[in-house]
Structure 1
Amino acid sequence: MSKARDDTRAEYRRKDLAPLVRGKYYKRVMVGSNLVLLQPEIHKAFPSSEAVNKASTPMAAFMHELQPLTAEPKRAAKKRVAA
């Protein structure tokens, strides 16, 4: 028996768990969620999704307002002159 197998609880080694498939719902979860990994010190300041959303909503609105001011100006296309 391998070392990992020896450290596994007996209830996880039962044969009825054999048909499980690793990553079966991976794509579904990735499409249906926005997971963000926070640094530990940030997590202490914002312990819930609601706290993060409440703090970031005004910042997102401000960034949206600034976008037209910070965007690069569009260049006018040069007209070709027939030779």
Structure 2
Amino acid sequence: MKDEYDFSKMKSRKNPYYSKLKKPVTMRLSEDVIDYFKAMSEENGVPYQSLINLYLRDCVAQHRKIDIAWKTGG
């Protein structure tokens, strides 16, 4: 193994995993939602943030849409 390496002639390239990197976000979730995923997390040994991500990823893959009908006052 060399004491020093010369990287000046090395070509740069894009990170092949860039598209798979996760972006940190701040979300406000109901306590019961967090408790639900934390309980599932303990059962499966998977971090609850990962479970939430997996669920949302499944929603994207299945093109699930939510039907939100807001009540109008009156």
Settle same-fold status: TM greater than 0.5. Answer: no
Q: TM-score of the superposition, structure 2-length normalised?
A: 0.29
Which structure has more RCO (C-alpha within 8 Å, separation ≥ 6)? 2
Pick the structure with greater CA Rg.
1
Q: TM-score of the superposition, structure 1-length normalised?
A: 0.27
Q: Which one has a larger percent helix, Structure 1 or Structure 2?
A: 1
